[in-house]
Structure 1
Amino acid sequence: MPDIASVEGAQKLCLLPITAGNRNDCTQAETVISKIRVPGPGPGRPRTRPDHVVADKGYSVRIFRAYLRRRGIKATIPERVDQLAGRRRRRERPCGFDKRTYRRRNVAERCFHRLKQWRGIATRYDMRPDRYLAVVTFASTLIWLDT
C-alpha cells in the first residue's frame, strides 16, 4: 500500500493513487496535491490549494519543497540526516520544522492502519491495480460510513 494519500482530519481517506510497488512515493506527491479539492462554506468553486502539508522524511526532496513554495503551501517535513549535513556544508539555513504540527501526521498513519485491518489490502492479495483500487475504495467507503 502506498504511503502517499490525501487524508481528511477525521482519519478518512480522500485520495489514493495506485503506483508500482517499486516506485518512490515522493514522485506522486505533486499529483496528489494537485488533485485536492477543498469545498468552501458557501457556493462556488472548491479550493485547490491546501493550507498545510505534513509529510515524513521520504518527501524531503528539493523538487517537492520548491513545488510547495511556488504554490504558497506551508510544509512541515523533517529533513534527513544527509540533507542536514549537506546544508551545513554549503552554509545554508535549515528548513523550518515544527514538532507540534508534525504530530498531526498520525492522522494519516491511523487511516492506513484502519485500512490495513482488511487482510486483502494489507497483504496486497489482488495484484491487478484496478481490483486493488476497488477494494481500497470499498474499504474506505465503509470507514466513511462507520464514523
Structure 2
Amino acid sequence: MVDHGVVIRRHELTDQEWELLAPLIPRAKTGRPRVEDRQVVNGMVYKIRTGISWRDLPERYGPWKTVYTRFRRYALDGVLTRALQQIQARADAADDIDWLVQIDSTIVRAHQHAAATGRKGGPTAGDPDDHALNRSRGGLSTKIHLACDGRGWPLAVALTLGQRHDSICARLLLERIRVPRTGSGRPRCRPDQVVADKAYSSRTFRAYLCKRGIACIIPEKKDQQRHRRNRGRRGGQPPAFDRQAYCRRNVIERCFNQLKGFRGIVTRYDKTATSYEAAVSLASFLLWVRSV
C-alpha cells in the first residue's frame, strides 16, 4: 500500500518531533493565510543542519524571508528556549534527568558574514552590544557555555565573547537551568552535583555552590594547592573531590560533539547573539527528542 502522507526528507522533522514541537509554536489568530508552520520550521532545521544561507533555502520551505522572519521572531520571543524547557519538563516528570550536572565551554569560529552587525539606529533590541563576538589571533569567535545532565542532554546555554574566561559565566549558566514541573510547583533550578574542570576552581564559585547546597566535583589547581600548603594551618583542608564521579566529565564533551554535528552551530553564521543562541536551543531540542 502506498503511503500518501507527509514525505519526510533528510534534515526535516519526523512526525514524533513535530508532535512534540507543534503545541509550543505560537499561531496567528488573524491576518492573511500564512505558510504552514511545519513547513517553515523544517526550513529552520534544514538551515542549521546544513549551514547554508537563508537566501539559499530550497523552495519547498516557502519564501526564505518568511522562514527567516519567523525564526527571528521566535528567537526574540524566546519560543525555542521555552520549547527546550518543555521537553526537559517531560523528561523530568518521567525521572529521565540525571541531576549530576556538568558545565564546560567550547569556542566556535564565526564566519566573516557574522561580523556585519552594524546597523543604523544602534543595537537590535534584545541583543548585547558586542553580539558575543570578538576578533582574536584565530579570527572571529564566540564561546558557547553549556550545562548538561549526567546523560549528556543540554540543560542550559549561554554565549560570551570567545576570549571570556569560563568561570565568569559559571554562575549565570547555572541560573539559566529552569526545568518546569508538569503539575504544580516551581521550576527545578538546583542540581544535586556540579562537575567541572579546573577552570572553574575558584573560591567564589565554590562558595556559591555551597550556599545553594550543591555538591561540587572540581579538581583544585596546582597553584591553589601550593598557596594553601604555604599557609599551613590557616590554609584549611583541601576541598572534597570525588575522582570517580569526575571520570564522567567526558559526557559533556560528547554533548558538544553532537551539537557540532549541526553545521550551522559548529560555525557561526548568525549576525546576532539572539539568533545564534536560538539556533543552539533548537539543536538542543532535537537532541532531547531522541531521549524522550
Contact preservation (8 Å) 2:144, 2:160: no
> Which structure's relative contact order is higher, taking Cα pairs within 8 Å and 6+ residues apart?
2
Residue 82, structure 1, aligned to residue 226, structure 2? no
Say if 1:3 and 1:107 are closer, same or farther in 2 by CA, change over 3 A.
farther
1:4-19 equivalence runs, <5 A: 4-19=145-160
**Which one is further off, 76-85 or 7-16?**
7-16
The residue that corresponds to 2:168 in the other structure is 27
Q: 1:135 pairs with 265, 270, 279, which one? A: 279
* CA distance in structure 1 between the partners assigned to 2:213 and 2:269 by the alignment: 40
Q: Distance in 2 between matches of 1:48 and 1:135?
A: 23
Deviations 1:53-105, CA, capped at 9 Å, x for gaps: 11111100111011111222110000111111111111222111111111222
CA 14–120 in structure 1, closer or farther in 2 if over 3 Å, else same: same
TM-score computed with the length of structure 1 as normaliser: 0.86
Q: Assess, with a 3 A threshold, how the Cα gap between structure 1 residues 80 and 127 changes in structure 2: closer, same or farther.
A: farther
Name the amino acid aligned to 1:98: D
1:126 aligns with 2:270: yes
**Cα distance, 1:34–1:134 mapped onto 2, change above 3 Å:** closer
Q: Which has the larger radius of gyration?
A: 2
State how far apart, in whole Å, the 1-side matches of 2:264 and 2:255 are: 16
Per-residue Cα deviation, 1:15-39 (whole angstroms, up to 9, x for no partner) = 1011111211211111122232355
| Runs (5+) with no aligned partner, structure 2 | 1-106, 108-142
User: Shift of the alpha carbon at 1:128?
Assistant: 2.7
Are 1:117 and 2:261 an aligned pair?
A: yes
Q: Return the TM-score normalized by structure 2.
A: 0.46
Q: Would you tell me which structure has more strand in proportion to its own residues?
A: 2
CA change 1:42–1:131 in 2 (3 A) is: closer
Q: Aligned-residue CA RMSD in angstroms? A: 2.1
Which of the residues 37, 43, 57 maps onto 2:198?
57
Q: Distance in 2 between matches of 1:135 and 1:58?
A: 26
Quick one: which amino acid aligns to residue 204 of structure 2?
Answer: I
Unaligned 5+ runs, structure 1: none
Question: Could you tell me which amino acid in structure 1 is paired with residue 192 of structure 2?
Answer: D
One-letter identity of the residue aligned with 1:141: F
Residue in structure 1 matched with residue 248 of structure 2 by the alignment: 104
CA distance in 1, matches of 2:248, 2:182: 23
Which piece of structure 1 moves more, 124-133 or 73-82? 124-133
Question: For 1:55 and 1:27, how far apart are their aligned partners in 2?
Answer: 13
Q: Which moved more, 1:125-134 or 1:66-75?
A: 125-134
Show structure 1 runs of 4+ deviating over 6 A. none
CA contact (8 A) 1:3 1:25 kept: no
